[in-house]
Structure 1
């Protein structure tokens, strides 16, 4: 077993000196940015109170109906036990996923999140009423520094340094000035937990100055970051994370007004398989199914409530193939108990079925989880549904396609970093997808050999493939993999095999490292003809082996990427618009629309159209599918009806 002195975690902010001879290193990773904001419809009218945002409806770009602009980004993967699923994260990267120009080690302004205009002059319902400081208007939010909790090698993302900060400002239109109203310096989640046994700071700011009581009030958050003072640019990438959640602005509030009637999911949905997030259909067996799930549900009110939990599994045609009914259970207030739902019927539901697959046909399934308050008075329904897409195609994936950190080897001589997989039947390896983190001045671009090894006693044994030439790390985009084709297809027999990266350079090879899944037992390093297991860092390398000739041709991947659509408004009460975000080779006549309720029943079907009348549907959560009638591929989105 590798001794403790062999390991190091490298934070962008700190390096542990007594681990300086390590060969494995861990760094922070980039964010999922690079989304073109030109095609996003912006809100041009002022918002009427209440303003509430829990970031459960959007990914990447914040809701344009609430936010004017943002370098910050919405994600489900970086925070530790957020108030509800989904947060907005601030870091050191711009909207294209690159370090801000002028980034330095002393400090620089980074991300900004600015609200749309908000009416603090009056309310309109039930009757128009002028607002004044006597209306007790408060802006509250939850904030968490990045980096996670516990041992430094368990860090998720990056902890801000003490000299870093997160700032809240209010805008005065009469003075044309932004005023600082709140600020926090860098800190760790551990210090928050030690004080209050919770993972987030709750901040509640009164608005009392009359300069803000107009029809164009705005507020914004911005962070100040700093790069590590590290001589190797390969270590210097993203840093200084801050997470915000549940931003709430309204009148008739109190300073200690924390409780809100909301039962919600805390974490995103995960795979129903024991080890993999995705795997080849031909390799699947019932033995791959997990036994139970781990579900975090929270009660944000100050009283015990009853809730119902279910999950449903739909195939690619929208037909229900499995379901689970957890019944009704009481859930007690988190602000009193500091606990999530503890009933095993909801917190640890069984996986009581197995996927039914044709081993020669690709298939995807949607696993949809729903929690509802028993009496139906939940103030927010958008955080009551989470879903996971289970993919059975031609590749293995331990990771969830989101890099919270970077991981790699810093060799003294020739070194290998290997990841193991298992074949139930022989197959032909044709390509490997790898995600490399973007680093400062592209210092990550150190050549490597792509290698494949057979197995002996659970470790890499003999090399059965090495690329003819060195390959170069490239970054296609944030969390976008680069495909490396083998020089010739390689038939791999049944059993375990390993994919490895071999390098001779003394600088760091910064691979994407997913901290929300864990294949650490499958990771090995080799420095001096000795393979040693990873026993310290929990997570999954973003390395995905591909099999068969479809990976060479790439046609299936192109077809599936060509259709990407969004729904708006969502939630809706009458009509919903469909917007095709990527229209390459898209023809309306090839597609149809289906809407399925949570019982698996079809409630709407039609040929493709850009606007749908859903006024006849009852309140609730639905899945809207667009189906390619020629290839039978589908795309789907959650649709919420709220009247």
Structure 2
């Protein structure tokens, strides 16, 4: 097999090429204001939560309350109008005596109707009182009023005639009608914080925790659940950030020994909180309808990455022991970045608890579900698997359990079952483990068969779901963490990462190269590369560019160089952006993908610390390659499929067309530009030797410059498109 190297090249502006000192680093995910995505508009939260045209009912839930975040049980506001859980509610601005007129004239003093009898004096009768109730846009009453009609009737008993007159109205009410869709509540446990933006708050995940207690944690940092910073006006802005608020709970005054308990971790796989960064617990005072601070922890007080002992907080007193009690977790952090991270796990609230048994938990839980079927990869191209499954199917899969109890536990059965898109079982396994020691995390391997597991579905990709579960002797206190699921996806790319970046990886220095190794047992052509470029605060996208190149090996010239330069395209959160190659590049066996920097500034790549492929990450300074010192995986993926969207090369065709000749040159060069452009020419020390504006064809004399390599940077005045080229001056 021949070796192929794909290197995404970024050429130097400020450091002599070949003499740059290599420096790699991991950085927190700090976000750039220019690249920030829009977030949702503020909404209001009550016992019902309105997201027009939907009103979400919020039930008061009973005890015990338990969440270890094995599942995401934060309420999601995603209803559709045709769902069975929805009932229609007609809204109006006001009603009068249980009626809903389109319009009505009122006065605020009594009016009378007149009766003219056959004989005798006129009779005056007070008209009926009109009781008005006003409603808000969610259909909730917001006020009341009383009034009387402006219509005066006069009845003549001798003739039987009724006549009408009107008096001037003091007000005229006009009704507005609308329809809301009332959504029944669901089994969720948490809601969007009251009177705050619908940004989701804490992030439920299995990525940011070290030494996880159970599968899944809730993480708090300076960004919302969409990955958007709360405040990017300053990189040092500080304040309240994520919130995780419980639904109302059904407490009462007869309850005793009611405790809220949980575990917390400072930092985990994210940025560690500092002295001014705190995790806070607040209780909702039902009487005053105010939140009360009951507990907090500062970042400097805890050993980084270690889980705390179980925290016990007593819920007591008439203000709390009644229906409608709530509690919430909040953090105070740097608001411009995914920094100052806290994790919480195993949240319980119940009555009749014994605080003297503070850390006694009778539970066995999953820490990791069944691992990937594809060995070192989390995903491989579906067509490659079908052609050579023996090379891409792993030898085994693993599961990890945690016995949180102080006694040894007997596992009666440990199982997993994998099904295709229509529910047909493609593989299953059952075993037992007679000895799961007390307070122990144990990983077990399950050998895979040598024959092909996943059948051809006739499509270009395939998804399979694996359910894992176990049973223990005597049963389990908490059953929700006895079952977990995982997805095995086959697409067009190879990946080592799990799809989540906890940090950002970057090289510092111009001319540095980054290469990432893969192996394709099936000969095929790479057509694109997926990158996760996190939105990092220090980035300046207008000053960064790269060109994609392909090598057979590190000692030879490239066999492919793109004819255009590209810029990082920043994605939301953990999304990837595909860069298409101008022409397909055939590879078989080992190959690498990566980049060489044009500018000395860092180009950040998403970095996953929960998977391990660091032995395939290399960076080059001068003529020497080094292995990475950081354990983890880059969020870079080679793609062997066609891209249905507009490719990078197609977009580039619309950008600046710049010709420079002759090149090499003795100093007299000719520019031809398809549109007006700002031109700068640099030597390899980063000094600008010429800059100016060209509008078409222009001649330039550089004969006074020393022989060597120079870099030309052109910015299209129409759209800001960047193009860089090398210029060689000869003696």
> TM-score, normalising length from structure 1?
0.69
Structure 1 partner of 2:236: 105
Cα deviations by residue, 1:460-485 (Å, 9 ceiling, x for unpaired): 75323333222122223111111112
Q: Measured at CA, do residues 61 and 22 of structure 1 come closer, stay the same or move farther in structure 2, by a change above 3 Å?
A: farther
Which of 1 and 2 has higher RCO (CA within 8 Å, sep 6+)? 2
- Bigger radius of gyration among the two: 2
Structure 1 partner of 2:289: 176
Instruction: Answer yes or no: is 1:78 the counterpart of 2:241.
Output: no
Question: Which structure has greater helix proportion?
Answer: 1
CA contact (8 A) 2:369 2:468 kept: no
CA contact (8 A) 2:391 2:521 kept: no
Instruction: Answer yes or no: is 1:204 the counterpart of 2:312.
Output: yes
The match for 1:514 among 608, 613, 618 is 608
Cα deviations by residue, 1:335-368 (Å, 9 ceiling, x for unpaired): xxxx223xxxx62222334435559854535352
Structure 1 partner of 2:325: 217
CA contact (8 A) 2:511 2:600 kept: no
Cα deviations by residue, 1:133-154 (Å, 9 ceiling, x for unpaired): xx1110000111123xxxxxxx
Report matched runs for 1:542-621 at 5 Å.
542-549=635-642
The RMSD of aligned alpha carbons is 3.1
CA distance in 1 between counterparts of 2:626 and 2:290 reads 58
CA contact (8 A) 2:380 2:392 kept: no
Structure 1 partner of 2:587: 493
The Cα shift of 1:405 comes to 0.9
- 3-state SS of paired residue (1:383): helix
Instruction: Answer yes or no: is 1:248 the counterpart of 2:348.
Output: yes
Report matched runs for 1:450-465 at 5 Å.
450-456=547-553, 461-465=556-560
CA contact (8 A) 1:192 1:200 kept: no
Q: Measured at CA, do residues 46 and 442 of structure 1 come closer, stay the same or move farther in structure 2, by a change above 3 Å?
A: farther
Q: Measured at CA, do residues 425 and 291 of structure 1 come closer, stay the same or move farther in structure 2, by a change above 3 Å?
A: closer
Instruction: Answer yes or no: is 1:280 the counterpart of 2:384.
Output: no
Instruction: Answer yes or no: is 1:160 the counterpart of 2:273.
Output: yes
Instruction: Answer yes or no: is 1:537 the counterpart of 2:630.
Output: yes
The match for 1:141 among 262, 284, 287 is 262
Structure 1 partner of 2:248: 117
Q: Measured at CA, do residues 429 and 21 of structure 1 come closer, stay the same or move farther in structure 2, by a change above 3 Å?
A: closer
The match for 2:478 among 376, 380, 385 is 380
CA contact (8 A) 1:74 1:89 kept: yes
Cα deviations by residue, 1:161-202 (Å, 9 ceiling, x for unpaired): 122110111121323332211111114875675xxxxx3431
Structure 1 partner of 2:723: none
CA distance in 2 between counterparts of 1:415 and 1:465 reads 19
- 3-state SS of paired residue (2:607): strand
Report matched runs for 1:284-295 at 5 Å.
284=385, 285=388, 286-295=390-399
Structure 2 partner of 1:572: none
The Cα shift of 1:113 comes to 1.2
Structure 1 partner of 2:26: 26
Q: Measured at CA, do residues 460 and 392 of structure 1 come closer, stay the same or move farther in structure 2, by a change above 3 Å?
A: farther
CA contact (8 A) 1:46 1:216 kept: yes
CA distance in 2 between counterparts of 1:250 and 1:43 reads 24
CA contact (8 A) 2:259 2:313 kept: yes
Structure 2 partner of 1:393: 491
CA distance in 1 between counterparts of 2:446 and 2:539 reads 45
* Stretches of structure 2 lacking an aligned partner (at least 5 in a row): 1-19, 32-36, 44-50, 77-185, 193-199, 648-731
CA distance in 1 between counterparts of 2:579 and 2:207 reads 27
The match for 2:517 among 420, 423, 438 is 420
The Cα shift of 1:391 comes to 2.4
The match for 2:434 among 329, 332, 352 is 329
Report matched runs for 1:411-490 at 5 Å.
411=509, 413-440=510-537, 443=540, 446-456=543-553, 461-486=556-581, 488-490=582-584
Structure 1 partner of 2:598: 504
* Stretches of structure 1 lacking an aligned partner (at least 5 in a row): 1-19, 122-129, 148-155, 194-198, 228-235, 555-643
CA distance in 2 between counterparts of 1:443 and 1:494 reads 36
Instruction: Answer yes or no: is 1:87 the counterpart of 2:217.
Output: yes
CA contact (8 A) 1:79 1:243 kept: yes
The Cα shift of 1:84 comes to 1.3
